[in-house]
Structure 1
Amino acid sequence: MKVAKEDARRFLVARQLLGPARSLAGGPQGVLEVLRRLGSIQLDPVEMAGRSHDLVLHARVAGYDPAWCDDLYERREIVEAYNKGLSLVPASEFAWFRVRRSARWQQVLDDNQDVAKRVLERVRADGRLSSSDFERESGPTKDWFGAPVNAVRAVLDAYVRIGVLGIAEREGNHRQYDLPERFLPAEVLAHDLTLHEQLRHKMLSRYRAHGLVGATGHGEGIFEFLGPANPDPRYPGFPGRNALREELVELGELVPVAVDGVSGKRYVVRDDVDLLQAPPELPPSVAFISPHDPIVWDRKLLGSLFDFEYVSELYVPQHKRHWGWYVLPIVFRDCLVGRIEPRVDSAEGTVQILALWWEDGFEPRRTEGFIEAMRDALRAYLRFAKADRIDWPSGSGTERRLFGTTALTAGE
């Protein structure tokens, strides 16, 4: 199957529920519909502009209120599980994400054997606990930056990774751990699945989340934690990502696609073929995109399909950043037209725009439908942030005139 680049762009924005933005009916059912379409929503602790999963939902669900997601979480209709990263998934699919084998995370438990034994015994005896309920302990495990981590936190996380424990509750970024059998219904855990079935489901979930990803992920971790590309004796029981992908193609779950001007084979899920063959014309609409939104997972595709170069600079030293710390790409129709760096000041009831950048050649005032679409997106963001005013940075007189400040209230 071969498609034109323009059709692929419209398809991807539409199947990501961003064309138009905020088009799903509001309420908890809107949240569940996003999860039904994307399969999972990645979590992230940074919330200067709003929690990442809330930004993903805000871009797609009309009048999104974070309380809807929190309510589903409390009712156990959605739960936390590891997919590409720690993610929200439908509770009904938890057993498929509860992969019980990982050499990497078993190594963490082996390296901290005494701590791991004591931690698990206490959780079994006392029920849900957080890392702060234990004395901090040292061990050989290090974080991404090579710094030693709290061995208690490391083994709790490793137990979640291999499905022995689960995250039963959280307050902000404070996690409570317990045995899944204590906080999830028996029917959720009753599925008797093989490792192969779990890995195949998780592989398909990555294609569901993005919509047009290729075979490699281009170093962005899209296929992380699914084992090696090909069978490897160091990973017993793991069939290899390439074999899983080919199996999904043979089953008809994935359909190979060639996109004009885009290198490499792409894949769409079976249910998306009709949309790809006849993508809709997209109305004027603006969405602000989380750095962890699945549409920006494949950054090589962003460059070849949208001519948009994007790198998250969360962990880049300030003096080396090209853009900013927590920058949200701006989608308009089927284009990525700019970047915005907002900060929510709850105490003052304001949204501070630290910076706004337009892509080369994009002129807001000369682009039909953009000004009102941008105003609508800012109004929606103010409601989401429970704020009533936008503060623009100095030197942004044009944006202030075009998009407003105090006049652009959440109640409009």
Structure 2
Amino acid sequence: MHRPEDAQPLNVEDVTLDDPAPGADVPDAALVSAAAADDRQPLATAAPPPTRTLATPNTKTPPGNELRPDAHSGADTAPKADLGPAADSGADADSGADADSGPEARSGVGARSGADAGASAAGGGSAGGGVVDLTLDEARRLILRAQGLLGADARKGGVHAMLRRLGAVQLDTISVLARSHELVAYARLGAVSRPAVERAYWHDPARSFEYWCHAACILPVEHWPLYSFRRRAFRERKFRWHEVPDGVDKLLAQVRDSGPLMTSDVGGAKNGGPWWDWSDSKIGLEWLLDIGELVCTRRVGWRRVYDLAERAIPADLLAQDLTDEECVTRLAGIAGRSLGVANRTDLIDFLRLKGRFAAILDEALLSGAAGLTPVTVAGWPGKKGQANAWADPAALASEPRGRHRTTLVSPFDSLIWHRGRTERIFGFTYTLELYVPKHKRVHGYFTMPVLAGGRLIGRVDPAREGTTLVARQVHLEPGLSPAKWAGAFADALWSAAEWVGCDSVRVERADPPELVTMLNAPR
């Protein structure tokens, strides 16, 4: 199922992001508005900044409820990344160096820091631990390796290991070529079978569970204790964005007595109105999931199956009782390792924190408890003389090497789910136009960026007609030569086509226009 071309709301039983009604009074909807300011500082135009000290954390965010993540991350206003004069070098898409890599970028991550990366890592995140200087190219390569898109190690362990590397995989009901959680695995692992993806995510006994992280996500089951801070917060507020109905205790008793169930077992998900007009049973089940009484560890026909957490989650994980500080601190480390290099906005957005929970994250970064090393990334916003990001110290200890993936990227992939971060890293301005009226769309309904040579080289709006993958629109990034990059585009399209069982590719429109002929040429 996919959203119709007029972009009307979905059938709620298929909705995993659980958006509230438009215009509704939703106290918990804007979770990262204060953090967005981190990416609104001017872009440095001088030479690479000197070694910096750790920034003082922003603890002025007013306290509030830090519960449900927004369904989709919004763009911030980060300045566009400077990809340098070699942006159109035409380097081999699968070479060991980025297309804009120069000798300095290939000399090793710690080569420009003035302090050994290992020594900085030993200092953790504390101000006295030293700050590593990174070029934008170095940061980008660290990020791609952390995300499993550079080097052979990313394929080790399959989907199960990939989920643990990423920490969270966002769920979304849209299925154009495949659903996003499948596309995320494909982008990193290649033509992994779709049933294998499903088995790795939803398995019996549980290896994963669904909960709120960046959005509605599939999460490693061993992370269950780390989200107790959010479950407690929901319980303390006693409501979500729907009013919790009476009879929740009866629903819980029904699951306890009768076993796992779906909304269809308790009267269905809707009242008959708009898609957000949930039935009391649906609201009750979701509330019980929010507070941790129920859990979803598997799906049937893309429908959630709700079971008692005490039945589905291993006892040793249920027994762990972590404080809010322990939860957020450990999750900050997970987010930092997943992202590779991240500023405060990126970490806040990964976990969708606000208020007192954002303040806990700030303290964990300042004290070093999160286990991340302060770094300065050239060109990223920040104050002079202060670190403007954090990195995984283990990642800093070695230079990223290996082949780059050439692939289409889901709009909900953690590589690009924060649009301001995407622009900061890749110089790539990206907007998902699902809800834009058809006649106003610039790039298409479900535009997927194309990753090649360690950069985002363009975008494609894909569809399927029988066994043909149709590229309704293809756009190459400005300044890139069609002659040099058409091959990478074609590789990305044909690889995706073969994965979803198509035996031909047809490009309908392209910018620049000559790409149509190049990409439609027989292979």
TM-score (norm. length: structure 2) = 0.65
Aligned equivalent of 1:129: 261
C-alpha distance after superposition, 1:128-159 (max 9, x if no partner) = 111222235889xx98xxx5433322222222
Deviation string 1:198-220 (CA, Å, 9 cap, x unpaired) is 232333333233222221349x9
| Partner amino acid, structure 2, of 1:329 | P
SS of residue in 1 equivalent to 2:470: strand
Q: Distance in 1 between matches of 2:333 and 2:414?
A: 14
User: 1:399: how far off?
Assistant: 3.9
Aligned residue number for residue 234 of structure 1: none
Structure with the greater relative contact order (CA < 8 A, sep ≥ 6): 1 or 2? 2
Residue by residue, what CA displacement relative to the aligned partner does 1:313-355 show, whole Å, maximum 9, x if unpaired? 223333443322211111121221100111245xx22222121
Q: C-alpha separation between the residues in 2 aligned to 1:350 and 1:245?
A: 49
Residue 13 of structure 1 is matched in structure 2 by 144
Task: Select the residue among 82, 89, 96 that pairs with 2:226.
Answer: 96
Pairs within 5 Å for 1:21-170: 24-25=154-155, 29-72=157-200, 73-75=202-204, 76-98=206-228, 99-103=230-234, 106-108=238-240, 111-135=243-267, 148-170=277-299
- Counterpart-to-counterpart distance in 1, 2:507 and 2:500: 16
Cα deviation, residue 364, structure 1? 2.7
Mapped to 1, the partners of 2:404 and 2:371 lie a distance apart of 32
Indicate conservation of the 8 Å contact 1:37/1:209, yes or no.
yes
- Give 2:395's aligned amino acid: D
Equivalence for 2:128: none
Which residue is 1:387 aligned to?
502
Does the 8 Å contact 1:23/1:61 carry over to 2?
A: no
- 1:212 alignment partner, one of 327, 338, 341: 341
Q: Which residue in 2 is equivalent to 1:355? A: 473
CA distance in 2, matches of 1:90, 1:334: 27
Counterpart amino acid of residue 137 in structure 2 = E
CA contact (8 A) 1:109 1:116 kept: no
Cα displacement (A) at 1:38: 1.3
Greater alpha carbon shift after TM alignment, 175-184 vs 395-404 = 395-404
Aligned amino acid, residue 61 of structure 1: L
AA aligned opposite 1:310 = Y
What do the CA deviations read for 1:169-203 (whole angstroms, capped 9, x no partner)? Answer: 21243111110222333344333333332232333
- Residues 1:242 and 2:359 aligned together: yes
Specify the SS of the correspondent of 1:294: coil
The reply to whether residue 326 of structure 1 matches residue 450 of structure 2 is no
Partners of 2:309 and 2:322 in 1: CA distance? 16
CA distance in 1, matches of 2:440, 2:510: 22
Separation of aligned partners in 1, 2:414 and 2:510: 33
User: Would you say the 8 A contact 1:344–1:385 is kept in 2?
Assistant: no
1:260 and 2:390 aligned: no
Question: Residue 222 and residue 40 in structure 1: after superposition, are their counterparts in 2 closer, same or farther (change >3 A)?
Answer: closer
Q: How does 1:201-350 map onto structure 2 within 5 Å?
A: 201-217=330-346, 221-224=349-352, 226=353, 228-229=354-355, 231=356, 240-248=357-365, 249-251=367-369, 253-264=371-382, 265-275=388-398, 278-280=399-401, 283=403, 285-345=405-465, 348-350=466-468
Displacement after TM superposition at 1:92 (Å): 2.5
Q: Which segment drifts farther, 4-13 or 287-296?
A: 4-13
> Is structure 2 residue 308 aligned with structure 1 residue 179?
yes
Q: Tell me by how many angstroms 1:86 deviates.
A: 2.0
The Cα offsets for residues 211-253 of structure 1, whole Å up to 9 and x where unpaired, read as: 22221349x94332x3x33x3xxxxxxxx32332432452261
Q: CA deviation at 1:386?
A: 1.7
Q: Which string of whole-angstrom CA distances, capped at 9 and with x for unpartnered residues, describes residues 29-50 of structure 1?
A: 2112212321121111111121
Aligned amino acid, residue 238 of structure 2? Q
Query: Structure 1 residues 110 and 3, CA, compared in 2 at 3 Å: closer, same or farther?
Result: closer
Does the C-alpha gap of structure 1 residues 306 and 25 become closer, same or farther in structure 2, counting only changes over 3 Å? closer
| Distance of aligned partners of 1:88 and 1:340 in 2 relative to their CA distance in 1, 3 Å threshold | same
Q: Distance in 2 between matches of 1:134 and 1:4?
A: 56
Letter aligned with residue 93 of structure 1: H
User: Structure 2 vs 1, CA of residues 109 and 10 (structure 1 numbering), >3 Å: closer, same or farther?
Assistant: closer
Q: Name the amino acid aligned to 2:320.
A: H
Question: Which residue does 1:235 correspond to in 2?
Answer: none
- Size of the aligned set, in residue pairs, is 380
Equivalent-residue separation in structure 2 for 1:198 and 1:337 (angstroms): 38
Letter in 1 for 2:505: I
Deviating more after overlay: 181-190 vs 168-177: 181-190
Q: Given the superposition, is the C-alpha separation of residues 55 and 185 from structure 1 closer, same or farther in structure 2, using an over 3 Å criterion?
A: same
Whether the 8 Å contact between 2:507 and 2:516 is mirrored in structure 1 is yes
Task: For 1:403, give the aligned amino acid.
Answer: L
Match of 2:518 among 399, 402, 406: 402
Residue identity in the other structure for 1:48: V
Mean alpha-carbon deviation: is it higher for 372-381 or for 29-38? 372-381
Match of 2:415, SS state, is helix
Runs of 5+ in structure 2 lacking a partner?
1-131, 383-387
Are 2:407 and 2:496, in contact at CA under 8 Å, matched by a contact in 1? no
Consecutive unaligned residues in structure 1, runs of 5 or more: 232-239
1 CA distance for matches of 2:247 and 2:334?
Answer: 34
Q: Distance in 1 between matches of 2:509 and 2:447?
A: 18
Equivalent AA in structure 2 for residue 154 of structure 1: I
Once residues 343 and 208 of structure 1 are traced to their aligned partners in structure 2, the CA distance between those partners, rounded to angstroms, is: 34
Residue 71 of structure 1 aligns to a residue in which SS?
Answer: helix
Q: Give the TM-score taking structure 1 as reference length.
A: 0.81
Check whether the contact 2:507–2:519 (CA below 8 A) recurs between aligned residues. no
Q: Shift of residue 58 of structure 1? A: 0.6
8 Å CA contact 1:56–1:289 kept in 2: the answer is yes
2:318 maps to amino acid: L
State whether residues 375 and 391 of structure 2, in contact with CA within 8 Å, keep that contact through their aligned partners in structure 1: yes
- The alpha carbon displacement at 1:274 in A equals 2.1
Change (3 A) 1:351 1:100: same
Letter in 2 for 1:5: L
